[in-house]
Amino acid sequence: TLKTAPPNVARVDYTNGVAELLLEPESTQICEYNFFEGVESSNVIGWSNASYNTYLFKQSKYPNAYKIGFLANSLDTRDFLSQTNVSITNGTTYCFSAEVEVVTEVSAINNMINIIGGSGLSFRLNGVDVPSSENVPKGNHIVECYFTPSTSTDVTLRVGVGVNTDSNGKVYFDLVQFETSPYRTSWIPNNSSSIVTRSADSITNFGSSQIIDSQSGILLFEGSCFANSSNIISLSNTANNNNKVIVKFDGTDISLGVRASSTSRYKTQSYENGNNVKGCVKWSGTSFESFVNGVSIGTDVLNSAIPQDEFNTLRFTYTSTSSPFYGRVRQVKHLPYNTDISKL
């Protein structure tokens, strides 16, 4: 069952088997009627069909919604649902995705989920890019189809199964989503003919200069980032941007460093979005050392030391609003300088 939270309450997610604070950017659900209402009578509201079989259905994770199932057949035919005349805009990245329950291996991923009329399509299986011909094995998975159109046009969204000789093959689709995002975000319910937008998650500043030693210490971050633009966690001052300790993700790298007297220095290592990582910045006076997963990635010297009582906040941004961090957070800590890095 999906869990929901009221406004202004942190979203704690257990997808990876541990508690993680989930921070997501704004996303717009374009897919209409993604509850699959009417599937029990084979008249699915908001979708057209090319069905050669009776639809299968189960209760969705979401109340009052359904999983829709397709039965593969030996008639050299395709069985699918379509949503037509979906408008897309040049230069915007879109992701069409669903959770699937595959009873037996029934189809290549591009037969299970596709954007008809979309060019340059890419596919992911459980967050990993795969060829369009990749067969989806038995089990529970997340399938994604994403692209950035070069022209504004209308496309058709399609879920189902392709040609198969196994008449017992079954696959169920749940929590279908077509959104303005390069990757699947948490499901946005939409049981209407309108689009629905989920606002970005944000965290306000918190901390106190009485407990944050700005002249030395360790900033520890553990979690994962899944946005491609600059994503920053920082120890800083709400009144100025002259001095900071920073953990930064930019889509291909993780950078850890210190900004002193308006000059920033980092140590950088390659990073793949979505992977859990533990990063540390250890600083004292005019020097710092950066660590990734307990291993030093380098040291550097600052132009000057950070003044005492300079830090009064921990931000999930660079300034109060710029470069917000989007991802999953397992822990963020400010620790004494003499803490043993190997034990973190």
Looking at residue 7, its pLDDT comes to 67
What does the angle CA 175 – CA 81 – CA 101 come to, to the nearest 5 degrees? Answer: 45
Contact call for residues 186 and 327 (beta carbons, < 8 A)? no
Q: Residue 49: which H helix or E strand, with range? A: strand 48-49
pLDDT tens per residue across all 344 residues of the chain: 556 666 677 888 888 889 999 999 999 999 999 988 876 666 788 888 765 556 778 888 888 888 888 776 554 455 788 999 999 999 999 999 999 998 876 678 998 899 999 989 999 999 889 999 998 888 999 999 999 999 999 999 999 876 554 555 678 899 999 999 988 999 999 999 999 999 998 887 666 656 688 999 999 999 999 877 789 999 998 888 899 999 999 989 999 999 999 999 999 999 988 899 999 999 999 999 999 999 999 999 999 999 888 898 899 999 888 899 999 999 999 999 999 998 88
The structure's pTM equals 0.83
Sheet of 153-161, strand order: 48-49, 79-88, 153-161, 113-116
DSSP lists the bridge partners of residue 314 as 206, 235
Give the span between the Cα atoms of 243 and 179, in whole angstroms. 38
Contact call for residues 107 and 171 (beta carbons, < 8 A)? yes
Looking at residue 167, its pLDDT comes to 52
Give the span between the Cα atoms of 163 and 172, in whole angstroms. 16
Looking at residue 72, its pLDDT comes to 63
151: left (phi over 0), alpha (psi -120 to 50) or beta: beta
Amino acid present at 299: T
Looking at residue 111, its pLDDT comes to 86
Contact call for residues 104 and 202 (beta carbons, < 8 A)? no
Query: What is the distance of C-alpha 259 from the center of its chain?
Result: 28
What does the angle CA 17 – CA 327 – CA 185 come to, to the nearest 5 degrees? Answer: 85
Looking at residue 86, its pLDDT comes to 95
6: left (phi over 0), alpha (psi -120 to 50) or beta: beta
Looking at residue 78, its pLDDT comes to 57
Q: Residue 110: which H helix or E strand, with range? A: helix 109-112
Q: HSE (CB half, 13 Å, CA atoms) of 258?
A: 30
Give the span between the Cα atoms of 173 and 179, in whole angstroms. 17
